[in-house]
C-alpha cells in the first residue's frame, strides 16, 4: 500500500521542494515519533543532492501523512543518526 503525502504550506518555508521531501521519505535513515502527545513524527534522510534533511509529519490515517516541516538537518537531530 502506498502512502499519500499531503503538504502544509509550512513544509516549504525553508526552501525544500516536494521532490526533496519525497526523496527523503523514500530513503529514510531515521524515523520515529518525536512527540507522543501530538503524534509528530521525525524523519531524517538525504535528498537527491545528499543534503541531510529533517522532516516532521503527522499521520492523518492509515494511508495518509501530512508533512508540515522540512529543512536542512539541525545538529540536535543529526546526533540521532549516531545511535
What domains appear along the chain, each with residue ranges and CATH number? 4-82 (3.10.450)
Closest CA to 51 of 34, 74, 67: 74
| pTM assigned to the model | 0.90
- Is the pLDDT score of 15 beyond 90? yes
> Which tens digits make up the pLDDT trace of 54-68?
999 999 998 999 999
Is the confidence at residue 34, as pLDDT, over 90? no
What number is the average pLDDT over the span 47-55?
Answer: 95
- Regarding predicted confidence, which is higher, 34 or 83? 34
Amino acid at each position: 500500500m502506498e502512502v499519500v503525502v499531503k503538504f502544509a504550506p509550512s513544509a516549504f518555508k525553508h526552501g525544500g521542494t516536494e521532490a526533496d521531501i519525497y526523496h527523503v521519505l523514500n530513503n529514510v535513515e531515521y524515523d520515529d515519533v518525536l512527540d507522543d502527545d501530538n503524534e509528530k513524527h521525525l524523519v531524517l534522510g538525504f535528498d537527491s543532492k545528499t543534503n541531510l534533511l529533517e522532516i516532521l509529519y503527522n499521520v492523518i490515517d492509515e494511508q495518509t501523512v501530512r508533512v508540515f516541516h522540512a529543512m536542512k538537518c539541525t545538529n540536535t537531530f543529526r546526533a540521532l543518526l549516531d545511535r
